[in-house]
């Protein structure tokens, strides 16, 4: 199935009054460092603290009355969990969410607070998809995937739609964009929206080292997988490989997959605290890290940078802020 701008525009209508139209933020200090304009899409300010409510609500709102009645099952390290739980709360749909036992405490607490029923699993020894499938079979419930689904991709794409609209409202147009990338739902949706509205815009994904499956896949021209047993602070982005649908969209549209290491992610989180006054989580900092580390050439460009989420526990946040710059 082909996802088009119209699908994303339809999703945007469904999300009115549900998802926050997050601001596109410009910071003089960051512009000076970049040598160009940088437009930050602050999805950390989104309802549930990340962009995930966009895709989750779009998907749940399109379920048949029958499917909605039976509830849904999802698996997620925490941001999709909160998005699905919140969408379920708003639409009165029962949600069961398979979450790793070592997910950030705040993500688990918020998911529960939003009415999600949490089912624990061990990220290193258990298969969350198998657990979710069993749970779904038992309940005759639909599984809401975290990225590889047309309604998810269209929902996440509304963030890209807003970037184009908000840039136009301040009289500019991004020449390039860099998007935080896990399974590729946000990147794929934003690619469709932005390349439809901004012909010529160059798109980049950004991933953490060791979880550069999209960068590897783009370079190889086919879906590559990484070893998901490697620890990483970027808990939101620990996917083994891009999705089938998402990679099919990304492969013809993304100029290159950028990769940042953990020290660059931590430095970006300190910059965000010190200069931007924004709380971003590790996985939400990878696109900014690509800019600050110089992995993306920004001189003379108008660069849209996705800050995809801000759900980080205060202990880790404080540990990172205490590090020297």
Q: Which residues are at the interface with its own copies (CB under 8 A)?
A: 20, 23, 25-29, 42, 44-45, 47, 49, 106, 273-280, 310, 314-315, 317-318, 321-322
**Nearest distance in Å: CB 248, its own copies:** 33
Tokens of 133: 């499938």
Q: Output the smallest distance, CB 277 to its own copies, in A.
A: 3
- The Cα–Cα gap between 37 and 302 comes to 5
DSSP H stretches of helix in 221-261 = 244-250
CB of 201 closer than 8 Å to CB of 194: yes
Instruction: Give the separation between CA 188 and CA 91, rounded to whole angstroms.
Output: 26
CB of 270 to its own copies, least distance (A): 8
Report d(CA 223, CA 215) in Å as an integer.
Answer: 10
Looking at beta carbons only, is 36 or 310 nearer to its own copies?
310
Of 140 and 318, the one with the shorter C-beta distance to its own copies is 318
Instruction: Give whichever of 107 and 202 is closer to its own copies, judged by the CB atom.
Output: 107
> Both tokens of residue 47?
């309802």
Residue 175: Cβ-neighbour burial (10 angstroms; 0-12, 13-18, 19+): middle
To its own copies, the closest distance from the beta carbon of 199 in angstroms equals 27
Q: Which is nearer to its own copies, 27 or 246 (CB)?
A: 27
Which two three-digit tokens encode residue 158? 């509304």
By C-beta, is 256 or 273 nearer to its own copies? 273
Rounded to the nearest whole angstrom, what is the least distance from the CB of residue 266 to its own copies in the complex? 13
């Amino acid at each position: 199935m082909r996802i088009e701008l119209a699908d994303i525009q339809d999703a945007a209508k469904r999300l009115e009054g549900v998802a926050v139209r997050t601001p596109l933020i410009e910071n003089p200090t960051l512009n000076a460092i970049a040598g160009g304009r940088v437009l930050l899409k602050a999805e950390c300010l989104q309802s549930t603290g990340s962009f995930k409510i966009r895709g989750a609500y779009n998907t749940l709102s399109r379920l048949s009355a029958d499917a909605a009645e039976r509830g849904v099952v999802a698996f997620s390290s925490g941001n999709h969990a909160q998005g699905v739980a919140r969408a379920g709360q708003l639409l009165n749909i029962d949600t069961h969410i398979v979450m790793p036992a070592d997910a950030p405490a705040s993500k688990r607490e918020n998911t529960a607070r939003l009415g999600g029923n949490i089912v624990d699993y061990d990220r290193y020894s258990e298969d969350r998809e198998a657990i979710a499938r069993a749970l779904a079979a038992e309940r005759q419930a639909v599984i809401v995937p975290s990225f590889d689904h047309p309604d998810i991709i269209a929902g996440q794409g509304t963030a890209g739609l807003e970037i184009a609209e908000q840039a136009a409202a301040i009289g500019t147009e991004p020449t390039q964009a860099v998007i935080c990338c896990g399974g590729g739902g946000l990147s794929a949706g934003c690619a469709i929206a932005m390349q439809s509205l901004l012909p010529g815009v160059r798109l980049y994904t950004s991933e953490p080292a060791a979880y550069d499956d999209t960068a590897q896949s783009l370079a190889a021209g086919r879906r590559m997988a990484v070893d998901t047993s490697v620890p990483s602070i970027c808990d939101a982005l620990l996917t083994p490989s891009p999705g089938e649908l998402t990679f099919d969209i990304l492969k013809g549209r993304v100029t290159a997959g950028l990769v940042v290491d953990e020290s660059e992610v931590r430095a970006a989180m300190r910059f965000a605290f010190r200069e931007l006054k924004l709380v971003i989580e590790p996985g939400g900092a990878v696109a900014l890290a690509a800019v600050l580390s110089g992995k993306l050439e920004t001189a003379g460009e108008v660069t849209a940078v996705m800050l995809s989420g801000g759900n980080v526990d205060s202990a880790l946040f404080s540990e990172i802020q205490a590090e020297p710059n």
